[in-house]
Structure 1
Amino acid sequence: MTASPLSIPRPTTAPPPHLQVTWTDPVTGRRGYVVIDRLVRGVSSGGLRMREGCTLDEVRGLAAGMTRKEALHYDPANRYIPLGGAKGGIDCDPHDPQARAVLGRFLDAVRSLLKHHWTTGEDLGLRQDTIDEVLAELGMDSSIAAIYPLLDDAAGARQRLADAFAVEVDGVLLADLVGGLGVAESALTALDHLGLSRTSARAVVQGFGSMGGATARHLAREGVTVVGLADARGVIVNPAGLDVERLLLTRDGLGGIDRSQLRPGDTEADGDTWLDIDCEVLVPAAVSYCIGASEQERIKARVIAEAANMPTLPDAEAALHARGTLVLPDFVANSATNAWWWWTLFGDIGADADQAHRKIREAMGRLTTDMLTDAETYGTTPREAALGVVARKLGDIEARFGGPGAPAAVRSAGGSHDDPR
């Protein structure tokens, strides 16, 4: 019998990260950070963000979240074996004229980590194509070079991932859609769990970049009425429903909504009013720490799907849970982007939109159902239930590959997909 996730003892405090690095730009004085929370087979995974005010504490928390995301998708039957968790962050406005040069100096400074231990990709404020272009200028091969020694056929795997990044679905790249599909599937599963009709539900999405835009598209395509969208300039509202597809295909590269595309009935409002709009599903998909104790009092939604990393503060989440709002934690709801990369690279799926959609829907539906069922059965929050699953899977991973920082397991234990341990 499989143990209840809540029956597994968990430490009251998280273990310290395996490594944390603080870098100071010699030209501008800007700070950058890399935190490797843990290594599995000597490698970790986690994106690189750029935002004004980014801190080491923020990056440390995000790295721990990546460990959870990786662990949740561990399935011994898959060719993909989860990595450890990591994260990078640069304290710089991505719109700053010097941002690209700062990014280049940062990546050059941490190139040894990128080569051997840290696989990274786009996150808040950075696009993957920008990272790739800067790495190429530095003479570096890829942002995920550290994983190549773990692949049986690195050239074939890289081609498969490159092919997947070229796949387009109705005008949007598949790579920009997979994360939001996972968030939407998690939210839809939660609506089903509550017995709420999808086609009667309304949604508000804060943030309209790759994660928020894709979430809005997939919710709308499942019959949910998207009544509010927020970007950096404010909020667009229409109680009868926004034309998500039109706005998605005309947004700018950082998720800005083109106001010239608004229809009669669409209205504009101030930036924080997204919290006040009547809806069943609320999707914070832009920034961390945006729902605190005072903000949560304004929320009417029954489901909050955390597409952004760490958007809900603990006190706010406790208050929301007490009044019956389901908060789907970030490391569950927004984990599909990371998993899709590795499912594709390792060959669990091909460079195919239908395969990606099926895999993501199945995985996210199952994870969300199990989390909500356990939370209800054991009288705890969805986050606590999901952490129980993470603890169990981390134990399974450590039993197979060694402890949190075990680089000794790298090349000897993990080089083959068919390793029986």
Structure 2
Amino acid sequence: MNAPLISQTWTDHVTGRRGFLVVDRLVRGVSSGGLRMREGCTLDEVAGLARGMTMKEALHYNAEGRYIPLGGAKGGIDCDPQDPEAYGILVRYLRAMRPHIENFWTTGEDLGLTQDIVDKAAAEAGLLSSIQAVYPLLDDEVAARQRLADAFAVEVDGIGLDELVGGCGVAESVLAALDRAGVAHEGTRVSVQGLGTMGGATARFLSRAGLRIVAVADVKGTVANPKGLDVEALLGARDAYGAVDRGVLRPGDLELPGDAWLSAEAEVLVPAAVSYAVDASNEGRITARWIVEAANMPVLADAEALLARRGVTVLPDVVVNSGTNAWWWWTLFGDIGADADEAFAYTRRSMRALIDQMLARAEADGSTPRAAAHAIVADRLPVIAERFGWYR
């Protein structure tokens, strides 16, 4: 694996907090990858996420599409997003990174940050937009920016389309895996870690597809019910950080420890919160048949090897949660319009095709789905480089 193109550590002169930027690769001179904020964020973590973004972009390469994948990058800030100093640190980080964002790094919301907060801080930092580096690649910048703004204004059942589309992609990944295995949707049990943007939307789409959400975890602990939770009630009782007001729980809903989601009796586990949630010390508690990585890097490599020996299939983050990033670009470049039904349909088709291709490759190679995804990326990166050139 090659070293990243850029690896940078920033120190806030006010608080001493550190931030990071890693640009793994440029395509047409531009890279794409969100900005996360969490206590304990490290340069190594951001580097891994940037490499993952290169893979996500390559996986969505379609020679016939208007959206042409970018390179991969990622930003990170070592700070609790609920810290009173967090917003000021974010503004100063973006101000320091302004030359990169103006020229070659497009970014947006990730763990711990919402797009509204990123947009507000970016404006305060003197930026036109957090994705302005891609504007020179657009055929009609004014129309493209308006289309994306219109898409961000779309709501479905009171939730923004931008918050829902990633969960739609995760849910479709689950459904594609079940279909390939001949397992009925109705009644299949699911446990979800995290009820924020990604986890909440995933739970909603899976519940509406007939699956039974039997456990969800947030910062307060795990809520469980083997007969199924009222997903809509839980979603309606979330705060800005995805924590559920326990006052909406029904008789029969159980309050359990925070890690109880891991050992829930379910066919599918969806880690949709933090990285490194499943390791060699806790993987033995898992009885599920599938782990579907809605979060970035939630299953450590040693745990994944142990799970594979037990017949547990891990669907990797680089495929599963790639829908949000792709939706931004599908919309901005004009493959789809600012319409929820069109966005969901396009996302479902694209994600199902990727999952099917990955699982077929894994079966043919006798490998894991992650290894198969990496193999597909290895095939596509030279094709992208041949068309657009190498920027290393």
TM interval, shorter chain, is over 0.9
Answering whether residue 102 of structure 2 is matched by residue 122 of structure 1, we say no
The aligned runs of 1:198-347 (5 Å cut-off) are 198-347=185-334
Following TM superposition, the consecutive aligned residue runs of length 4 or more in structure 1 with deviations greater than 6 angstroms are none
TM-superposed deviation, 1:200:
2.6
Alpha-carbon distance, 1:249 to partner: 2.2
> Does the 8 Å contact 2:295/2:321 carry over to 1?
yes
Q: Which amino acid aligns with 1:193?
A: R
Partners of 2:160 and 2:236 in 1: CA distance: 11
* Displacement after TM superposition at 1:352 (Å): 0.3
2:90 paired residue number: 103
Distance 1:399 1:364 in 2: 25
1:60 counterpart residue number:
47
For 1:122, the aligned partner's letter is E
Alpha-carbon distance between aligned partners in 1 of 2:182 and 2:287, rounded to the nearest angstrom: 17
CA–CA distance in structure 2, aligned partners of residues 261 and 147 of structure 1? 44
The Cα shift of 1:404 comes to: 4.0
Q: Kindly indicate whether the alpha-carbon contact (under 8 Å) linking 2:193 and 2:261 is maintained by their aligned counterparts in 1.
A: yes
| Structure 2: runs of 5 or more not aligned | none
Write the distance in 2 (CA, Å) between the matches of 1:132 and 1:64: 24
> 1:212 touches 1:285 (CA, 8 Å); kept in 2?
yes
Q: Deviations over 1:139-194 (max 9, x none)?
A: 31110000000001111100000000010111111100011111110011111122
Give the equivalent residue in structure 2 for 1:190.
177
Q: 2:65 aligns with which of 73, 78, 100?
A: 78
> Take 1:66 and 1:139, find their aligned partners in 2: how far apart are those partners?
26
| 2:152 is the alignment partner of 1:165 | yes
Report the Cα distance in structure 2 between the residues aligned to 1:243 and 1:404, rounded to whole angstroms.
Answer: 49
Q: Deviations over 1:199-221 (max 9, x none)?
A: 13100000011000000001101
**Deviation at 1:44?**
0.2
Instruction: Indicate if the aligned counterparts of 1:191 and 1:303 stay in contact, CA closer than 8 A.
Output: no
- The answer for the alignment partner of 1:11 in structure 2 is none
Aligned to 1:43: 30
8 Å CA contact 2:95–2:126 kept in 1: the answer is no
Say if 2:364 is the partner of 1:361: no
Secondary structure of 2:282 counterpart: helix
Question: What's the TM-score once normalised by structure 1's chain length?
Answer: 0.92
- Give structure 1 stretches of 5+ with no counterpart: 1-13, 406-421
Helix, strand or coil at the partner of 1:294: coil
Name 1:418's counterpart in structure 2.
Answer: none
Partners of 2:177 and 2:378 lie apart in 1 by 23
The offset of 1:250, in angstroms, is 2.3
CA contact 2:38–2:112 (8 Å) conserved in 1:
yes
Aligned partners of 1:189, 1:324: CA distance in 2, in Å?
18
What is residue 3 of structure 1 aligned with on the other side? none
- CA deviation digits over 1:19-78, x for unaligned, max 9? 011100001100000000000000000000001110000000000000000000000110
CA distance in 2, matches of 1:172, 1:86: 28
On the 8 A contact 1:172/1:249 being kept in 2, the answer is no
Aligned-partner residue type, residue 181 of structure 1: C
Pair 1:143-2:143 in alignment? no
- Select 1:398's aligned residue among 382, 385, 391: 385
Deviation at 1:103, TM superposition (A): 0.5
Give the secondary-structure state (helix, strand or coil) at the position aligned to 2:285. Answer: coil
Q: Classify the secondary structure of the residue corresponding to 1:271.
A: coil
Cα deviation 1:304-339 (Å, max 9, x = unaligned)? 110000000111111111221110000000000000
Offset at residue 138 of structure 1 (A): 2.4
The two structures, once aligned, show a CA RMSD in angstroms of 0.8
After superposition, give the CA deviation of every residue in 1:114-142 in whole Å (9 maximum; x if it has no partner).
00000000001111100111112223111
The one-letter code of the counterpart of 1:60 is A
SS in 1 for 2:350: helix
Structure 1 CA distance for aligned equivalents of residues 391 and 307 of structure 2: 33
* Counterpart AA for 1:343: W
Higher relative contact order (CA 8 A, sep 6+): 1
Cα offset for 1:256?
0.9
Instruction: Answer yes or no: is 1:155 the counterpart of 2:115.
Output: no
SS class of match (1:63): helix
Distance 2:347 2:289 in 1: 23
Counterpart CA distance in 2 for 1:47 and 1:267 is: 35
2-side partners of 1:384 and 1:138: how far apart?
Answer: 40
- How many residue pairs get matched? 392
**C-alpha distance in structure 2 between counterparts of 1:269 and 1:360, whole Å:** 34
Give the percent of matched residue pairs that are identical in Structure 1 and Structure 2. Answer: 63
Question: Conserved in 2, the CA contact under 8 Å of 1:94 and 1:126?
Answer: yes
Deviations 1:265-297 (A, max 9, x none): 111111111111000110000001110012110
Q: Is the 8 A contact 2:11 2:17 kept in 1?
A: yes
Q: In the TM superposition, what whole-angstrom CA distance separates every residue of 1:332-363 from its partner, at most 9, and x where no partner exists?
A: 00000000000000000000001101111001
